[in-house]
Structure 1
């Protein structure tokens, strides 16, 4: 049995840098060895829930610019699983949710930067799923709920995003974390650990500094999906918390 996870993917540089966070991801991969990974990535947005369905090796997508050449040399040759993709599609169809599959898309950095650190040998099949950032937190939670129980089959569900993610106000090279980012994450931690989905559904009006922390929801909503997919009998746990560039959060949860 494996838990569900919300993991921060932050800067693409985590694929090549050696930091406290990359060391955490390495150890996390050693402690959790699933038979497959299902990952909801903030860098794949669709109106209709879309599941990657292929058995071959994913192309590595470099969906960013202005980084060192060595980052673009990183390859993560994980393969997909049409069998698992079809199973997931059927689960959503049984719940009456609109869902489709996609056969050609590669693996974006919301997926491969994390998995490259956790499972560097790329020997675990991966299925990516898109997010719709315009759905409410309650609706995102319901998307995750459909996959509840996959952990009992040793299938790891990951929501890949970031809680505090405002690239317009990050402070390059800053090592001191700004208090407002901490305050926002503190509020999120309390509500998540209490499974207060009603309050989380109102985060835009109730969480401190919500507009600064979440100027757009695509990186935030994987948190609710991961929360919904986890076993509700388990206590939600913070498994890592650190910051870069003044306010970019690397808060991670286990469900």
Structure 2
């Protein structure tokens, strides 16, 4: 059975210990899935060229954040890697780009926060992959396209990031309504993606509030990869959509 291609917002690291609608959604989403392997492109691993992890055994943990509660630093997600699946991923990506392999890097929070919620038993092999955020959206989309055949073998492709991710614009004063500029950007992105419009790859010039929503491209980069790995004859399907702190997008999209 074909495994899905998903874009999942990883929000704040607090996602790992908070309980709210999005964490419940992620838990339920994972309950009905049993992929053979997980390939996770994380916004928190930026490299000069696409890189895949080829870890034999259990991943180490990377707590790549500061100023959060002590409980976060005590979470251990004992995911295991797979050299065999990493090589399969590398082979497919190598059809469109030069690819590096990393044998030592642990899981950063872009990966483990989401996987901890979806697959708490940590019993599915994980191949973590980097993003090259200064590549064009079309180039990143083509990386995803190269991985599409793996879905037929039961490999789930996950892009972990955030469509609207402007830490300087967050509003911390309790629950606030989603801000218009954030929802307008996501509305445009989803509409143009569903239409298979080439404009979507030129969001910086075409999308409303693009500079405000995406001040730096690394958190949007996984979206393009998941989009490319999806089924081109079907429109993207929004599985969950909400906003924290006024504009931090918590959106899950199936491609």
The TM-score bracket by the shorter chain reads: over 0.9
Q: Name the residue aligned to 1:168.
A: 168
Q: Name the residue aligned to 2:135.
A: 135
- Contact residue 26 and residue 118 of structure 1 kept, 8 A: yes
**Distance across 2 between alignment mates of 1:238 and 1:130:** 24
Alignment length (residue pairs)? 253
Question: What is the CA-CA distance between 1:97 and the residue it aligns to?
Answer: 1.4
Tell me whether 165-174 or 10-19 shows the greater mean CA deviation: 165-174
Does the residue aligned with 1:43 lie in a helix, a strand or coil?
strand
Q: Name the residue aligned to 1:248.
A: 248
- TM-score normalised to structure 1 length: 0.97
**Distance across 1 between alignment mates of 2:83 and 2:228:** 24
* Deviation per residue, 1:126-173 (Å, 9 max, x gap): 001100000111111011111012221111000001000000110012
**Distance across 1 between alignment mates of 2:210 and 2:235:** 25
Q: CA RMSD in A?
A: 0.9
Question: What is the CA-CA distance between 1:195 and the residue it aligns to?
Answer: 1.9
Q: Name the residue aligned to 2:33.
A: 32
Task: Structure 2: state its 5+ residue gaps.
Answer: none
Q: Name the residue aligned to 2:16.
A: 15
Matches within 5 A, 1:84-163: 84-93=85-94, 95-163=95-163
Matches within 5 A, 1:9-88: 9-88=10-89
Question: What is the CA-CA distance between 1:193 and the residue it aligns to?
Answer: 1.4
Q: Name the residue aligned to 2:232.
A: 232
Task: Structure 1: state its 5+ residue gaps.
Answer: none
Tell me whether 19-28 or 142-151 shows the greater mean CA deviation: 142-151
- TM-score normalised to structure 2 length: 0.97
* Moved beyond 6 Å, runs of 4+: none
* Deviation per residue, 1:179-222 (Å, 9 max, x gap): 111111100110111122x1111100110100000000000011
